[in-house]
Amino acid sequence: MTLAMKTHAVSAQEWEAARQQLLVKEKASTRARDALAAERRRMPWVAVEKSYAFETPSGSASLVDLFDGRRQLIVYRAFFEPGVHGWPEQACRGCSMVADQVAHVAHLNARDTTLAFVSRAPQADIARLKKRMEWTMPWYTITDSFDKDFGVDEWHGTNVFIRDGNKVFRTYFINNRGDEQMGGTWNYLDITPLGRQEVWEDSPKGTPQTPTYKWWNWHDSYVPDAAPDKKWVEVSDAGEAAFRAESAGRKP
């Protein structure tokens, strides 16, 4: 089969030179993304004064309940309800792609963050859909004006909240193409007011932070308030040293 597009066959040396040239721009993009995340962590908060009710597998719940005891809450409004293309067998195709991309929520939970999906479909339909599609994130039923009040009544979007006791604040909102990047643990944490909570981040004073990489774990092995595994500390320290040496143009 002949490729219709023009090929650009070069030597390995020329390919590496081109990669290094592009890498300069990619690293600049990464630094710019980190700077934007730092700005998000300094976004003002707006208090949520209104009460909201959701249906869950175990009954009615408030917005505070959706935090599941954690400090931060990320809520994605997915369209699965009467009138949506695919109903009742499937949710919106775009929202379903977002759901397919969601990483294991245990990693978010370990950073005091809960992710939840919400729709207007009854819980029985949500449970059936989750089972069919093998989705495991919490998914609740909207029963009031939550979607309209937070800009997601006619289109999908992701809202971020933080709580101080039972007081809830809205901290960030992203929709349209901004939702394309959602699904990975890092991208979710980067839109929260506490961020990744690692010491390298530029965060407001008082933000909880722990040594870089050290909190990482297998998704079935997180233990609340556990000290970092000694062996993993050694491995991650060695990896970070090698990475920094390479970045500085030295051999580790």
Q: Please tell me whether residues 247 and 168 are part of one structural domain.
A: no
CB 106 within 8 A of CB 219: yes
Counting the structural domains of the chain, the total is 2
CB 183 within 8 A of CB 152: no
Whose tokens are 């092995």? That residue is 221
User: CA torsion sign, 32 to 37 to 42 to 45?
Assistant: positive
**What are the residues facing 61 on neighbouring strands?**
54
Q: Please tell me whether residues 53 and 175 are part of one structural domain.
A: yes
**What is the domain range of residue 240?**
211-252
| pLDDT at residue 218 in the model | 97
Among the listed residues 84, 37, 39, 69, the one whose alpha carbon sits nearest the alpha carbon of residue 138: 69
**Alpha-carbon gap, residue 37 to 20, rounded angstroms:** 26
**201 lies in some domain:** no
Residue type present at position 33:
R
Whose tokens are 């939550």? That residue is 146
| pLDDT at residue 82 in the model | 96
In the chain, helix, strand, coil percent, each to 5?
35, 20, 45
**Alpha-carbon gap, residue 224 to 216, rounded angstroms:** 12
Strand blocks (E) in the chain = 46-47, 53-56, 59-62, 72-77, 113-119, 139-142, 157-164, 167-175
Q: What's this model's pTM, rounded to 2 decimal places?
A: 0.94
Give, in order, the Cα–Cα distances in Å from 73 to each of 67, 169, 192: 5, 10, 8
| pLDDT at residue 205 in the model | 96
Q: Please tell me whether residues 69 and 100 are part of one structural domain.
A: yes
Which token pair is 1?
A: 């089969």
> Does residue 88 have a cis bond before it (omega within 30 degrees)?
yes
* 146 Cβ contact list (under 8 Å, min separation 6): 52, 54, 63, 118
* 140 Cβ contact list (under 8 Å, min separation 6): 54, 55, 56, 61, 66, 116, 117, 118, 119, 123, 126
| pLDDT at residue 248 in the model | 79
| pLDDT at residue 77 in the model | 98
| pLDDT at residue 121 in the model | 98
Angle, alpha carbons 222-97-108 (nearest 5°) = 20
pLDDT tens per residue across span 100-142: 999 999 999 999 999 999 999 999 999 999 999 999 999 999 9
Low-confidence stretches of the chain (pLDDT beneath 50): 252
| pLDDT at residue 5 in the model | 65
| pLDDT at residue 244 in the model | 81
**Alpha-carbon gap, residue 213 to 183, rounded angstroms:** 20
Q: Please tell me whether residues 155 and 250 are part of one structural domain.
A: no
**14 lies in some domain:** no
| pLDDT at residue 7 in the model | 72
**20 lies in some domain:** no
Q: Please tell me whether residues 135 and 251 are part of one structural domain.
A: no
Q: Please tell me whether residues 120 and 178 are part of one structural domain.
A: yes
| pLDDT at residue 247 in the model | 75
Q: Please tell me whether residues 162 and 241 are part of one structural domain.
A: no
